[in-house]
Amino acid sequence: MSNTNKQLAFVIEVDRCIGCKGCQVACKMENGTALGSDRIKVRKVGPIGTYPDLQMYFLPTMCQQCADPVCVRVCPTGAVFKSKVDGVIHIDREKCIGCHSCNNECPYHANTFSEAHNNMDKCTICLNSRAQGEEPACVRNCSGRALHYGDVNDPESEVSKLIAEAGEEHVFHLQDFDNHPSARYILKGAKWQDILPQELDELSWGKGGSKYYEQ
């Protein structure tokens, strides 16, 4: 397979996530992100249903490494770009002016603002760690072994085999707005809720987000 077709992305076994936020903490330690700024964030979905038939799961969210990323298209300086080597989306901090356009237009609001650098920041699937032959910090520190990463376009990769073994009916992705998110979520123990990460934040903060839940 040629490098131009390679697409690194996360595959998350949602049933294995216990909501400990170890990935979130590990990411902060690895990348030095400031308080209130996260490259990965664990959100709670639910409880859903009527007692005693309730369901709940935890949803780790990060950059979805879209095949057609809107953040790249809207960046006024060309600072946001998609790697031709592995499909990972990066931000050139020398070019970034911190205008928030990439995050505002991202369907999942996956980018974050770095006050320390006065520009935007995002998940790169731990570029520096990968360059040293290590797994991303979140993957290394996931106590439930819920997080995986690899080439989702390579049918022989471990993540592709994981997706195939799960079965089509158990594999999901965040809502697609013609940006084609690459990350995949495997969920068997609950009903997948087609809800955006920022809508879950509204629910958590009591801003009427309950309307987004599909009963």
Q: What is the dihedral of CA 198, 209, 48, 182, to 10 degrees?
A: -20
Residue the block writes with tokens 């195939």: 164
Which residue type, as a one-letter code, is found at position 112? T
DSSP state for residue 175 in the 8-state scheme: P
Torsions phi, psi for 147 (to 5 deg): -95, 130
Closest by CA to 22, choosing from 149, 112, 130, 138, is 138
The pLDDT of residue 190? 96
Cβ neighbours of 192 (radius 10 Å): 18
Cβ neighbours of 178 (radius 10 Å): 9
Which residue type, as a one-letter code, is found at position 128? N
**Domains defined along the chain, listed by start:** 3-67+124-203 (3.30.70.20)
Could you tell me the two tokens for 40?
């990965």
Cβ neighbours of 57 (radius 10 Å): 21
> Cα(208)–Cα(189) distance, rounded to whole angstroms?
26
* HSE, side-chain direction, 13 A CA sphere, residue 159: 23
The tens-digit pLDDT sequence of the chain (215 residues) is 344 489 999 999 999 999 999 999 999 999 988 887 899 999 999 998 999 999 999 999 999 999 999 999 999 999 999 999 999 999 999 999 999 999 999 999 999 998 888 999 999 999 999 999 999 999 999 999 999 999 999 999 999 999 999 999 999 999 999 999 999 999 999 999 999 999 988 776 555 444 443 43
The CA radius of gyration of the chain, in Å to the nearest whole number, is 17
Burial class (CB in 10 A: 0-12, 13-18, 19+), 25: middle
The pLDDT of residue 205? 58
The pLDDT of residue 17? 98
The alpha carbon of residue 5 and the mean position of all alpha carbons in its chain are separated, in whole angstroms, by: 20
Which residue type, as a one-letter code, is found at position 124? T
pTM of the complete model: 0.91
Q: Residues 184, 52, 144, 40: is their CA dihedral positive or negative?
A: positive
DSSP state for residue 84 in the 8-state scheme: T
The pLDDT of residue 208? 44
